[in-house]
Amino acid sequence: MIRKFLSLVGVFLVIGCGASKKRNVDTAQRTISVSPSEVSVAPTKEEAKVVEAKSVTTPNKSRDIIGTALTFSGTRYKFGGTSSKGMDCSGLLYVSFGEHNIDIPRASYEIAKEGEEISLKEVAEGDLLFFGTSNRKKNINHVGLVVSVDGNDIKFIHSTTSRGVIVSSLREGYWNSAFVKATRIL
C-alpha cells in the first residue's frame, strides 16, 4: 500500500506543475517569440520597478494580488502546498487571490474554466496563463499569474517543481511551447 502511494506521489511530481522535461515542438504555429530570456528566482530590483510602474494602470485588486504572489518568491515547490513552507502553482494563485477575498478553484485545470478567455495581445497584469507540461500538451496542468507586460514580453509568477516560486517570461522556449491559453478573472 505504501509502495503504491509513493509511486503515485512520484508520478504527480513528474507531471505536476512545471515539469522540467524538455521536448521538441513545432513552433511554426506560434505567434510570439521563442527567444530565451534570463529567469531569476526572485524579481530583481529592475523587475520590481517595472511591475510597480506598470501597476499604475492596473486595477488595485490586480496589483494587490500580484504583490501578494511576489511575497512568495523563492518558496520551494510542494505538491498541494499553500503556505510559505511550500506550494504548487495553483496553490500560489489560490492563496494570492484568497487573501483578497476572491475564491478560485484549487486545481489549475479547474481555474482554466473560470473567467473569460483572451488572446495574448489582450493580456494584462493580473491575467492568468495556462500551460500543458505533460505529454498530452492540451491538458492544462500548470498556471501562472501575469506580473508585467512589455510589448510581447509577458512575465508571470508561478511555482515550478525544480525552482519553486519564480518569475518567468513567456518568451522562454519551454513556456512558449507549453502555452495553452490565457484568461481574465478580474
- Catalytic residue annotation: 89, 142, 158
Residue 180: CA count within 13 A, CB half-sphere: 20
